Structure 1
Amino acid sequence: MLWGGGRLTIDKIHYLVQGDDLVPVAATPFARDPFFGYTASNQREWIVEKSQDTILGDSIRSISLEDIRCGGSAHVLEMIRNLPKGPFCIVNAAHYRDLEVFTLAVLDAEAEGKRFLFRSAAAFVAVRLGLEAKSLLSPRHLCDLNSPTGGLIVCGSYVPGSTRQLEHLFSQGEVEPAEFSVTQFVNGDSPDKYVTKLTNQVRNRLINGRNVVLFTSRQYVGEAGTQQGLALGRSIAWALAQIVRELGIRPRFLAVKGGITSSEVAPRGLGVKRAIVRGQALPGVPVWELDENSLYPGLKYMIFPGNVGGPDALARLVKSLAGTDDAQRVDKRTNLMNP
């Protein structure tokens, strides 16, 4: 069973599943991100690259699939026991079972007093917490089906996969696009006035029961890989969060696409300090239920990473929330780990 996101690590090479192919991540568009890009698919080389050679490759350990599948948890536990204090250790995994064997060894090591810091995808978190497989959430668990207000999708992600999903969604004619022009925001007379104007446009459409997609213009603006460019990206995410906060209307549903965008909209736009993860809307798309202290208590907040889903994924989600698509019923046959 393949977890949402389709990422595997075999022989220290990190792969992205694309159709029937395993593509080394350095060969994907995500590696060309102007801020977070990289040239290495080998995770040992990636750590060295990201540390700017301050971490030596020889100091990085690895637990292979052979260690996990042939040696079992006892062998992995012994490997963990022998790790010196503080090194990086790559864990190869291509199936939930691999993570289960590794997690059992980790639990035994922790019982002996070992402590670890993990950087991982959501699949490991589910296994580590012992979450059972669960069907995808149905539309009635994702939105207020009786609300006259329209739903809102916010897309700050500009990776090619997100752009293809937007194009497919717009071709269906079931949503109203609201473009956040980065050029106007950056070069206009008043960024605040521009944000207010766009907020009013989105609010009026939601009040009229229309589903709205607020998305950033697709061209990249800024200096790639610089602090100035990173600050610009953050200011755009803050502006999107401000629009959500100033709407003054609870959307019928809310999905946010992009890691930085969703991480800003939650606290800055919705005042989220605590939420409950209820499950997934689509594979790799976790759903939060916002707490009573947020702007809209009980609202389901769908976090749609930029690198998740095929070209029709966003359109399928919108159709399922509108009750016009069979995709949700088909997906519910496949049990997937909670994020």
Structure 2
Amino acid sequence: MNETIRSKKELFDSIPPFSGGVEEALAEARQGFDRKIVVLDDDPTGIQTVHDVSVYTDWEPESLLQAFEEETSMFFILTNSRGFTQSETIAMHTQIAENILWAAKKTGKKFVVISRGDSTLRGHYPLEPQVLRKVIESDSEICYDGEILMPFFAEGGRFTAGDVHYVAYGDELVPAGQTEFAKDKTFGYTASNLKEYIEEKSGGKTSSKDVVSVSLEELRRCDVAGIRKKLCGLSNCTKVIVNAICYDDVKVFAAALMLAIKDGKEFLFRTAAALPKILGNVSDQPLLERGQLVDAGNPNGGIIVVGSHVSKTTKQLEMLHQASGIEFIEMNQHLVVDEEKFEAEKQRVNEEVQRVLTSGKTAAVYTRRDRFDLNNGNKEDELKMAVKISDAVTGVVASLKVKPRFIIAKGGITSSDVGVKALQVKKALVLGQILPGIPVWKTGDESKFPGTSYVIFPGNVGDDDALLRAVEKMQT
């Protein structure tokens, strides 16, 4: 097994081309597929590939009933569970599963639940699918035959080949277990081979030898019948990993999957953003333009909130300094251990932002680039401290007294908290993407600033100049 850094061109050139018939196979399999697709998003970035679908930020029975009654085949629930402890995640997913079952029974609709996770393999896995399975199988007649793991996400440069998951850095593909993402304080891992990743994350409860793989060779042959047969042969929630380096790979697998579901098989999912798009039959559309995003009559400046600390974000923030009309305001999150000093720091930042916006300029608020870590060996303490810092950053938007011309939030937890806590969004419409993999919400009437375009900018997506380009699109 080759888990060394590879040339993207070399790897892609070594994969056989498709034998044809991909679109026809997908269209044929889609006929009669009538499941409601429920996507549980562990941060707001799972909508990176879709448009004109609803995102709900709560999972009360009435909200899920409304979602099930929508004409569209798919909706998202923003759980933000990547910012939750294990016990909080268990309680949340238990309630969500119970309420999904209630809404499905009320509407008489069958459903598929997708646990949308990070394409760099961070998050509460395998915990979240385990909780969903336990509740749904206990409270219904559903019995899951397989669990699909598919972290492919082309827009972010995440590819799976030979069962190894890679993260693209320019023209190089780095095995995921060798990246900074694998060193995450809360969700770290070492394995790049997805079979071994499952064994590692399950604490050995699932052996890598028991994991089934769908290879690129099968997909490139457009072997829908063979993959369907493989899926129909599964039982007892067997783990399945799916290789993919482009959307046609996803389409072939989705065709086989829908046929297997129509054959009576049931599956759980842990995927990145690609499979929901294809399964939900979401079309491609052009990137959003400024006229679709900004109220030109608003005299106030925009606001950019940066919470993510991955190196990609830091480089993007550095390049943002090339833009004109922006004032940069640093928040010293290291003061979090001193309550009085941290409160004063938050007040200072809030006042500065208010001044900048009313002057018509854009405020870029960011935390110090050197991370603050407790380093006490307790992952949940680290997570709680991260949430406290995120709450401070979120509070900047919550404190605004004027409506900004636009809002951009950088980082998964940050963008979720800005949307749910600061903007008080209950239901949003996904407009599309401002840049590849960077989605935009239109906030609902109930929100703090109704009808505002809210750019959700993942911490780990985009070239070094991506944030600069997004801001320039909003300002010019």
5+ residue gaps, structure 1: 324-339
Structure 1 length as normaliser, TM-score? Answer: 0.90
CA contact (8 A) 2:314 2:369 kept: yes
Report if the CA contact (8 A) 1:12-1:43 is conserved.
yes
Among residues 381, 386, 399, which one is paired with 1:228 in the alignment?
381
SS in 1 for 2:340: coil
The residue aligned with 2:227 is 76
CA RMSD of aligned residues (A): 1.8
Q: TM-score, normalised by structure 2?
A: 0.65
Structure 1 partner of 2:426: 273
Q: Which residue of 2 aligns with 1:205?
A: 356
Is 1:100 matched with 2:238?
Answer: no
Q: AA paired with 1:266?
A: G
Find the counterpart in structure 2 of residue 331 from structure 1. Answer: none
Q: Secondary structure at the match of 1:218?
A: coil
Q: Is the 8 A contact 1:13 1:43 kept in 2?
A: yes
* Paired AA for residue 296 in structure 1: F
Q: Which of 399, 403, 406 is equivalent to 1:253?
A: 406
Q: 1:9 aligns with which of 132, 143, 160?
A: 160
Work out which of the residue numbers 299, 305, 309 in structure 1 matches 2:458.
305
The answer as to 2:475 corresponding to 1:322 is yes
For 2:373 and 2:349, locate their aligned partners in 1 and report how far apart those are by CA, in whole Å: 22
- Cα distance in 1 for residues equivalent to 2:318 and 2:302: 18
Alignment map for 1:109-188 (pairs within 5 Å): 109-188=260-339
Letter in 2 for 1:153: I
**Selected match of 1:25 from 176, 189, 210:** 176
Whichever residue aligns with residue 286 of structure 1, its letter is: P
Structure 2 residue identity aligned to 1:168: M
| Partner-residue secondary structure (3-state), 1:149 | coil
- The one-letter amino acid of 2:459's match is G
SS in 1 for 2:285: coil
Instruction: Name the structure 1 match of 2:51.
Output: none
Q: Deviations over 1:44-76 (max 9, x none)?
A: 111222223232222222111112222521111
Instruction: Single out whichever of 150-159 and 170-179 deviates more from structure 2.
Output: 170-179
TM-superposed deviation, 1:265: 1.4
- The verdict on how the C-alpha distance between 1:249 and 1:185 changes in structure 2, with shifts beyond 3 A counting, is farther
The answer to whether the 8 Å contact 1:200/1:247 transfers is no
**Structure 2: which amino acid aligns with 1:61?**
V
Amino acid across the alignment from 1:166: L
**1:53-68 equivalences in 2 (<5 Å):** 53-68=204-219
Q: Distance in 2 between matches of 1:209 and 1:50?
A: 49
Aligned to 2:101: none
More displaced, 127-136 or 185-194? 185-194
* Correspondence for 2:100: none
What is the match of residue 96 of structure 2?
none
| CA distance in 1 between partners of 2:327 and 2:336 (Å) | 20
Paired letter, 2:366: F
Structure 2 counterpart of 1:216, one-letter code = T
The yes-or-no answer on 1:194 pairing with 2:353 is no
Give the secondary structure class of the aligned counterpart of 1:105: helix
Residue 449 (structure 2) aligns with? 296
CA distance in 2, matches of 1:291, 1:77: 41
Displacement of 1:220 in angstroms is 1.6
Give the Cα–Cα distance (whole angstroms) in 1 for the partners of residues 319 and 212 of structure 2: 43
After superposition, the C-alpha distances for 1:177-197 in whole angstroms (9 at most, x for unaligned) are: 111111123335253343233
Cα–Cα, structure 1 residues 86 and 237, in superposed 2: closer, same or farther, change >3 Å? same
Equivalent residue for 2:196?
45
In the alignment, residue 161 of structure 2 is paired with which amino acid?
A: I
The 10-residue stretch of structure 1 (80-89 or 23-32) with the greater mean CA deviation from structure 2: 23-32
Counterparts of 1:273 and 1:227 in 2: how far apart (Å)? 27
Quick one: distance in 1 between partners of 2:393 and 2:298? 23
How far off is 1:266 after superposition? 1.2
**Unmatched 5+ stretches in structure 2:** 1-11, 13-152
Change (3 A) 1:87 1:249: farther
Deviation track 1:82-108 (CA, whole Å, cap 9, x = no partner) reads: 112212210111111111111111111
Contact map agreement 1:3 1:283 (CA 8 A) in 2: no
Letter in 2 for 1:125: P
Contact 1:60 1:89 in 2 (8 A): yes
In structure 1, give the amino acid aligned to 2:313. S
Number of equivalenced pairs? 323
Looking at structure 2, the residues matched to 135 and 71 of structure 1 have their Cα atoms a distance apart, in angstroms, of 28
